[in-house]
Copies of this chain bind each other. A is one copy, B any other.
């Protein structure tokens, strides 16, 4: 197409020349600083449009020490990534997409850009901190996928503005957002009981994951308030297959089960599959309730009764906290906890 020379893009200097003013004045106009004669203001903008000027990001960053972008950092354990070159297990999970959507919803209007970073190995973790310190992003929202993650600590120690998505397993001086997992689980318990379930089981997540712990505790406490001292529980890992296996195991232990709480929707869907194969009607014979209210909840049949986890709002708030901290590093470390809500559909 165009065989012409790469037409070096216009600089401030070029605009200044066209407008007949100094570089400094153009800079002032563009950044809206100080009083500039309205007439000159106009002239400068005209010159900007005439030349097609766009500020050079690197040059600006160099002097302002700001990049105008934040990072979404996914910190996973090594063994996961190694087994799955595409990390599709995670990226395909609605969890990721909902967080990205929430993050972008607040970033978009502000013009701040988003970088996506991954840290699977310890080496990568160190590299990420270096990158962050030297101008890849002004701050970072951390999505830590395994408990005992050292990354939040590294980042906090490096003085990089950061906000965690979800309570950290190890207490760390970083702000975080979370959902009241315990309260959500309690809602699930109340709902099953109100429905008349009497023998209720749990398909939990990994025991060391904070969200899993909180949901478990909340559910058990609510059940205890109703006199249910012991709740059979099997451990899953938040996958469809583990929900299916968990359901079978639970039923083997407690054949008279009439209600199940799965700690996420995917496992709840797995449980429903197992129940169908065993010819137990859902919800009439066994009621199933999930957690998250993500896509599987609507795609499953019967549709899942679940606890809504407002991930988009949480992600949006995380970014707001982050931006506040970037703008004023003295902002206190804080946590924002969102209220879950029960979404009643057909499975319970």
Chain A residues with a Cβ under 8 A of chain B: 1-2, 6, 9, 54-59, 61-62, 67, 69, 72, 85-88, 90-94, 96-98, 100-102, 104-105, 108, 111, 113-118, 124, 127, 130-131, 133-136, 156-157, 159, 173, 240, 266, 269, 273, 276, 294-296, 298-301, 312
Cα separation A114 to B69 with both chains bound (whole Å): 12
Which residues of B lie under 8 Å from residue A136 when comparing CB positions? 57, 69, 113
Name the CB-closest residue of B to A119: B108
Cα separation A301 to B2 with both chains bound (whole Å): 54
Which of A59, A130, A134, A269 has most B Cβ within 10 Å?
A134
Which residues of B lie under 8 Å from residue A97 when comparing CB positions? 88, 90-93, 96-97
User: Assuming A9-B134, A54-B130, A72-B116, what are 20 further A-B pairs, CB within 8 angstroms?
Assistant: A1-B173, A55-B134, A56-B134, A57-B135, A58-B59, A62-B62, A69-B115, A86-B98, A86-B101, A86-B312, A88-B98, A88-B101, A91-B100, A92-B295, A96-B97, A96-B100, A113-B117, A115-B115, A116-B116, A266-B299
A10 to chain B, nearest CB (A): 10
Return 24 A-B CB contacts under 8 Å, by A number.
A1-B157, A1-B173, A9-B134, A54-B130, A56-B135, A57-B136, A58-B58, A58-B135, A85-B105, A86-B98, A86-B102, A87-B101, A87-B104, A88-B97, A90-B97, A91-B104, A92-B97, A97-B97, A100-B116, A104-B116, A114-B115, A114-B116, A240-B298, A266-B299
A121 to chain B, nearest CB (A): 10
Asked if B104 contacts A98 (CB within 8 A), the reply is: no
Partner of A294, one of B92, B93, B157: B92
A21 to chain B, nearest CB (A): 21
Cα separation A344 to B3 with both chains bound (whole Å): 50
Asked if A98 contacts B92 (CB within 8 A), the reply is: yes
Which residues of B lie under 8 Å from residue A118 when comparing CB positions? 104, 108
The 3 closest A-B pairs by CB, nearest first: A91-B97, A86-B101, A58-B61
Which residues of B lie under 8 Å from residue A159 when comparing CB positions? 2, 6
Name the CB-closest residue of B to A58: B61
Cα separation A69 to B108 with both chains bound (whole Å): 19
Which residues of B lie under 8 Å from residue A134 when comparing CB positions? 9, 54-57
Name the CB-closest residue of B to A269: B299
Name the CB-closest residue of B to A127: B111
